[in-house]
Amino acid sequence: MSTPAKVIRLDRDPRAGANGEIYVRSDASHLPFADRVFSAVISNHSLEHFDDLDGSLREIGRVIKPDGALFVSVPDSSTLTDHLYRWLSRGGGHVNAFTSSKALADKIEAETGLRHAASRTLCSSLCFLNRYNSPKPRPHRLLLLGGGFELSLLLYVLLSRRIDALLHLRTSIYGWALYFGKIPEMPDTEVYSNVCVRCGSGSPASVLRATFLRRILWLRLYQCPSCGALNPFLDRGSAVTLPYTNKPMVTI
């Protein structure tokens, strides 16, 4: 992510910072920061891993400024995607299961004191199965899920979106993004159906249609603007605007 903000990343494991970023080794339930120092906190696929969820949320609320913002994304533990992830990775380190975006939003509001501003449903491409991303040696279970080849993931994207449209199921869904606090520009909450099978980036259909679209026989494809992988194009979704600032933020 390119941003003029001063970024501080927090993790239990020590890492080296890149591009001017600062890494801090700590637990989310005991943040080593003063009160109300951050303009934004980003918790991207983190809450499902926190042993002390309530304590971590209270700490997040403590370090955010009164006019600050919080972004949270989590998997829906009832989805096909999350079941596959936990089966493949033998739990995947998930200690908290979320099945309702409203219940989670209410909990975050109560613990942080930040008002829930918006939510977005997130689609899956099963990119964690991709051979580019899977650990070495690759799990034997991966062979039962198409071996991690991008063609099998491409077929999943096409079939899951079609099945959901016809039968009103949720085979293409994996979780939610939630926004709290004072958001300078409200995000578009429409679902992104175009999600890269390699890097997992979601893209608005309007942008892809104008710049990256190509056709092979009957299949329309786009090249992911983030990693360059070819993906099936689905004519749904719209743009989303995220608030970038030159104020300090922390990612947990």
Cut 0.85: pTM above it: yes
Assess contact for 111 and 165: CB atoms under 8 A: no
Q: How many CB atoms are closer than 10 A to CB 63?
A: 19
Mean pLDDT of 150-154: 95
Q: How many CB atoms are closer than 10 A to CB 145?
A: 16
- What DSSP string describes 75-87? E-TTSHHHHHHHH
Instruction: Map out the domains of the chain with their CATH numbers.
Output: 1-123+174-189+240-252 (3.40.50.150), 125-171+194-235 (no CATH)
Collect contacts of 239-244 with beta carbons under 8 A, ≥24 apart.
Answer: 239/188, 239/204, 239/206, 239/207, 240/120, 240/187, 240/188, 240/192, 240/204, 241/185, 241/187, 241/188, 242/71, 242/187, 243/40, 243/69, 243/183, 243/184, 243/185, 244/3, 244/4, 244/5
Helix (H), strand (E) counts: the chain: 5, 12
What is the structure's pLDDT at 7? 87
What is the structure's pLDDT at 16? 58
Give the residue among 78, 125, 128, 70 at the shortest CA–CA distance from 101: 78
- How far, in Å, CA of 163 to CA of 52, rounded? 37
Tell me the per-residue pLDDT of 125-139, one tens digit each, with 9 for 90 and over: 999 999 998 877 888
What is the structure's pLDDT at 180? 97
Mean pLDDT of 90-101: 93
* Eight-state DSSP code of residue 35: T
Tell me the per-residue pLDDT of 184-224, one tens digit each, with 9 for 90 and over: 887 778 889 999 999 999 999 988 988 878 888 888 999 99
Q: How many CB atoms are closer than 10 A to CB 78?
A: 13
What is the structure's pLDDT at 18? 58
- Computed on alpha carbons and rounded to an integer, the radius of gyration of the chain in Å comes to 19
Give the residue among 242, 243, 117 at the shortest CA–CA distance from 180: 117
Hunting for tokens 């085979």 — which residue is that?
Answer: 171
- What DSSP string describes 217-229? TTEEEEE-TTT--
SS3 127: helix
Indicate whether 248 pLDDT > 80.
no
H or E element in which residue 70 lies: strand 64-75
Q: How many CB atoms are closer than 10 A to CB 33?
A: 16
Sign of the four-CA dihedral 86, 226, 3, 107 = negative
